[in-house]
Amino acid sequence: MPLAHDARTSGIALALSGGGFRAVLFHVGVLWRLNELGVLGKLARISSVSGGSITSGLLAVRWPRLAFGADGHSAQFESEVVAPLREFCARNIDVASVLSGAFNPFRSAGEAVADEYRKRLGLDASLQSLPDDPRFVFNATNYATGVSFRFSKPYAGDYRIGLIPKPRFDVATAVACSSAFPPVLAPIELDVRPEDFTKVDGADLYDQIDYRRRLMLADGGVYDNLGLETVWGRYETVLVSDAGKPFDIDAGIGTMAPRQLMRTMDIGLNQALALRKRMLIAAYARGDAKGAFWAIDTDIADYPATEEAKLPVAPARVADLAAIRTRLDRFKEQEQCELINWGYAVSDAAVRSRSPHAATRHQSPAWPYPKHALN
C-alpha cells in the first residue's frame, strides 16, 4: 500500500528486484542497455530491493557524474557504474560480515555489510545528497508492522507508522536494510526518535509510540521482491527487472522440521511474487499500463520479433544463469560477464518489443563482453 496516492504521470519507472550479487550483475547489464537506448537518463523513478538496491545505490550516488546528454545517454556509464560494481562483486561480503557480527557484540552482521558499502562503494553519502529526479527508492521490510519500509530523499517510513521527512540516513544504511536477508543479515536495528515521524493517512500504529522508537528492518524482498509497489499506478510506463531465484520444484523434500519450515517460507514468498507478476502481466495485457517485464529465467524467444534482430541466446545458458547462487560472495570473471550479458540481452528484447516508445535513442545491440556471448 503506498504512502501517498500520486496522480499517474507520463514518466518511466524502473523496478529492480533482489537476488544477491547475481541481481547486482544482471541489473548492471539491464542499465547498460537502457543507457544505450536513451531510457536510463530519462527515468522518473528507480525502485529497488536487496541486490537491486546495491546496483541502484551506486547509480544514485554516481548520478551527477554521469552527465547525461539530451538523448538520455551517458558516456561515463561503464567507468562510473559498471567498473566499481564488478570490482565489488569480486569480494566475499556475506561471510566476512557474518563472522564480524558473530565476534563483535556491538555490531550486527547487517551493520558490517553497511560498512562494506561505505568503504567499497562510497555509499556514505546522505539520502539528502541524491538527485530529486529521478527519485531513488530503497525498499526494506519492517518486521514490526509487516509492510514495506521505504528510504528515499523526500521521506523514510511505512504507511502504518508514518514517515520521517527529509531523512538523514546515509545511502549505505538504506541499501543494507534493503539487502539484509534473514536470518543471517537481518534484522538491522535503527534507533529513531518518535518526534521525527509525521502521521499520514492510514497510519493506524502511529499513536503507539514504541513503533517509532526503534526500527527492526530486513530485506525488502520479504515483502515485495520486485520493488513494484512504489511504482505501480504512478507512472504510465513501468519496466520491471527480476533477477530473483526461480522457485525450486523438488520431489525429494524431506520430513525434518527445519527443511519443512524453510520450504513453507519459500512457498509463501513464491506465492506473493507470483501474484504480483500475474497482476503486472494482466495489466499490460489489458492496456492499463505500458511497459515490459523480464526475468533471469525468461525465454527470450517469447518476445515478439523486432525490426532489428535480438541477440541470440541459447536456452541452456539461461538455465545455468538462473540457477546461480544469490549470495553476496565472490563472482568469477565468467559469471560476471555472462550475467551482465544476459541482463543486457533480455532487457533489450523486452523493451524493444513490448515498450518501444520508451527507447528514444538508436544503438544496435552488441554483447558487452563478446568473449562471453551466450549463443
Torsion angle of alpha carbons 320, 322, 328, 330, nearest 10°? 20
Q: How confident is the model at residue 278 (pLDDT cuts 50, 70, 90)?
A: confident
Whole-structure pTM value: 0.92
236, 8 in Cβ contact below 8 A?
A: yes
d(CA 274, CA 139): 19
Q: Where in the sequence is the domain holding 36, given as residue range(s)? A: 9-102+128-142+224-372
Mean pLDDT along residues 5-12: 76
Asked if residue 204 belongs to a domain, the reply is no
For residue 365, give the amino acid letter. Answer: P
d(CA 32, CA 55): 12
- Does some domain include residue 190? no
pLDDT tens, residue by residue, 35-66: 999 999 999 999 999 999 999 999 999 999 99
Q: 196 in a domain, yes or no?
A: no
The DSSP bridge partners found for residue 214 are: 191
Q: What is the pLDDT of residue 9?
A: 86
Q: How far is CA 38 from CA 63, 150, 177, 351, 362, in A?
A: 15, 27, 31, 12, 8
Instruction: Give the model's pLDDT for residue 247.
Output: 42
Residue 153 lies in a domain: no
Rounded Cα gap, residues 24 and 44, in angstroms: 21
pLDDT tens-place string over residues 57-112: 999 999 999 999 999 999 999 999 999 999 999 998 865 555 555 455 667 788 88
Q: Three-state secondary structure along 81-150?
A: HHHHHHHHCCCCCHHHHHHHHHHCCCCCHHHHHHHHHHHHHCCCCEHHHCCCCCEEEEEEEECCCCCEEE
Closest CA to 187 of 226, 152, 156, 145: 145
Show Cβ contacts of residue 42 under 8 Å, excluding neighbours closer than 6 positions: 12, 72, 360
DSSP classification of residue 330: -
Task: Give me the number of domains the chain comprises.
Answer: 1
Over residues 194-224, the pLDDT tens digits come to: 999 999 999 999 999 999 999 999 999 999 9
**What pLDDT, on the 0 to 100 scale, is given for residue 63?**
99
Mapped onto helix, strand or coil, the DSSP state of residue 188 is strand
Q: 133-158 pLDDT, tens per residue?
A: 999 999 999 999 999 999 999 999 99
pLDDT for residue 271: 61
Dist CA 48 CA 15 (whole Å): 6
Task: Please answer whether residues 78 and 33 qualify as being in contact, where contact means their C-beta atoms are separated by less than 8 angstroms.
Answer: no
Please check whether residue 162 lies inside any domain of the structure: no
- Beta-carbon contacts of 230 under 8 Å, excluding residues fewer than 6 positions away, are 2, 45, 47, 137, 139, 148, 150
In a domain, 38, yes or no: yes
- Distance in angstroms (rounded) separating the CA atoms of residues 67 and 322: 34
**287, part of any domain:** yes
The verdict on residue 257 lying in a domain is yes
Residue 1 is predicted with a pLDDT of 45
Q: How much is the pLDDT for 105? A: 60
